[in-house]
Amino acid sequence: MTLSTFLRQPAERKLASLPLPCSVCFPDGHRIGAAQPRLSFVLRDMRALLHLTQGAIGRLAEDYVEGRIDIVGDLHDLMSAAPALLHHDPTQATRGRLMSSITHSRHAIWERTHHSQARDAAQIQHHYDISDEFYALWLDPLRVYSCGYFSAPSMSLAEAQQAKLDHICRKLMLRSGERFLDVGAGWGALLFWAAENYGVSATGITLSRNQHAYVNRLIEQKGLQGRVKMLLQDYRDVDESMPFDKIASVGMCEHVGRPNLPVYFAKMRDLLKPGGLMMNHSITAGGVNNAQLDGGMGDFIEKYIFPGGQLVHVSVMMDAMARGNLEPVDAECLRPHYVRTLWLWVDALEAHLEEARRTLGKDAERIIRAYRLYLAGSAMGFERGWTSLFQILVSRADDSLEPPAQLSFGADTTQDRYPFNRAYMYARNQ
């Protein structure tokens, strides 16, 4: 009995369970499933059929990247069908409690080693230094590589990203003359927004050589030398002798590693002046206990997209902040905003596939296939709550201030210098 014969009935049952008409085309041209499919899985290697019937969608994604299967159809349709391929909720850990407890301590030690400075630099460069031109094809003109803030439903991606930058600046209550640090500053959008619109002295750090060079060219073009600077530097090496008034960390915690989060936030506290604020914007896990998404999805992202990346539940994030002696003073979930952002990225990349192939050159097809599935799969994950996004504002207590004898509503001076309500965050957006 051939593998195709053995797997035919399970494959037919799997296709029948999908929410839209799909088919499988075998290497010999034989087809099963819908006569007029919206999605077609074209097999080049029979191992891919095994992964399809098992619901191992991470392995199936790897098959697609490596050319063992082609997927014909719209990515929106593919992500409508993908959850039905799974046999269980991917946010629920599948290993037994005993095995989990045995491996936890070893895994934590490995994580700390895994996030050495040299390894972190290599991992960041693996992702962000593919090609600036490739990212420019599907990001907004400011190249903001994090979720937008759609404060109005009709906003374009570019408008939503500008609204997000301003939302962060307002949450931090940036003031002219303050020293501002952006940890993991990307292509510099927040640095320039804060400097040009709020008058701060802005410093960014990155481990991406491409981003470092790009931002420094922009600094020179804009004539912002002395007001904005971008350093090729690990967060662990930032000088604490001249602390900052405000700090932003956007999309950075995902690269730190769970065991290192308290160390990371303790470092951020040491970089803040007493009374200072930090805004942490990061993707979080939808499940409380899972180290990554099951079904092989986490393994796929580790291999092809973000080596060394790790998500934690928002409760774990806040616990790490507290262990770093920072007080969370505000938290906002932006999960729906990332759904819309990701689908806009998907549509933009789909519209520029040929340009992406020309831009990337060698190995272009593997990179494009990986990013098509990564972006669309991430949109699906946020839609279903498998992952989320939180902005958490934290404060370093100012022990030098004497608490006022009597606080009045709206008073400017409190021990933590934080307003009584959120009105200040939204006034400009309204």
How high is the pLDDT of residue 97?
A: 39
42 with 59: CB under 8 angstroms?
no
CATH topology of domain 3-85: Nonspecific Lipid-transfer Protein; Chain A (3.30.1050)
In this prediction, residues 83-95 reach a mean pLDDT of 76
Q: Pick the range with the lowest mean pLDDT from 119-133, 309-323, 336-350.
A: 119-133
Q: Do domains 3-85 and 117-426 have the same CATH topology?
A: no
Which of 354, 409, 404, 347 has its CA nearest to residue 379?
A: 347
> Does pLDDT of 411 surpass 50?
no
How high is the pLDDT of residue 234?
A: 93
More confident residue, 287 or 1: 287
Residue 414 identity (one-letter amino acid): T
Alpha helix stretches (DSSP H) within 250-334: 261-271, 297-304, 314-323
pLDDT in tens, 340-379: 999 999 999 999 999 999 999 888 999 999 999 999 999 9
* pLDDT interval class at 3 (50, 70, 90): low
> Does pLDDT of 409 surpass 80?
no
> Does pLDDT of 328 surpass 70?
yes
How high is the pLDDT of residue 417?
A: 67
* pLDDT interval class at 9 (50, 70, 90): confident
> Does pLDDT of 290 surpass 80?
no
Q: Pick the range with the lowest mean pLDDT from 153-162, 220-229, 256-265, 343-352.
A: 256-265
Q: What are phi and psi of 164, to 5 degrees?
A: -65, -45
Alpha helix stretches (DSSP H) within 139-282: 157-171, 189-198, 209-222, 261-271
In this prediction, residues 257-281 reach a mean pLDDT of 95
Residue 94 identity (one-letter amino acid): T
* pLDDT interval class at 96 (50, 70, 90): very low
* Degrees, nearest 5: CA angle 334-256-146: 30
How high is the pLDDT of residue 414?
A: 45
Which position has the token pair 């796929």?
300
Beta strands in 298-399 (DSSP E): 327-333, 387-395
Which of 50, 49, 65, 60 has its CA nearest to residue 82?
A: 60
Q: Pick the range with the lowest mean pLDDT from 35-44, 112-121, 304-313.
A: 112-121
The CA-atom distances, in angstroms, between 86 and each of 101, 292, 357 are 26, 15, 31
Q: Is 122 in a helix, a strand, or coil?
A: helix
CATH of domain 117-426: 3.40.50.150
Helix (H) or strand (E) holding 286: none
Residue 116's contacts (CB-CB under 8 Å, 6 or more residues apart) are none
How high is the pLDDT of residue 107?
A: 52
Q: Rounded CA gap, 277 and 46, in Å?
A: 55
Beta strands in 201-264 (DSSP E): 201-206, 228-232, 244-250
In this prediction, residues 156-163 reach a mean pLDDT of 98
For residue 271, give both structure tokens.
């970089």
Residue 306 identity (one-letter amino acid): F
Q: Is 222 in a helix, a strand, or coil?
A: helix
Sequence ranges of the domains in the chain: 3-85, 117-426
More confident residue, 419 or 365: 365
Q: Rounded CA gap, 18 and 86, in Å?
A: 11
266 with 274: CB under 8 angstroms?
no
56 with 296: CB under 8 angstroms?
yes
In this prediction, residues 195-199 reach a mean pLDDT of 97
> Does pLDDT of 76 surpass 50?
yes
* pLDDT interval class at 383 (50, 70, 90): very high
> Does pLDDT of 403 surpass 70?
no
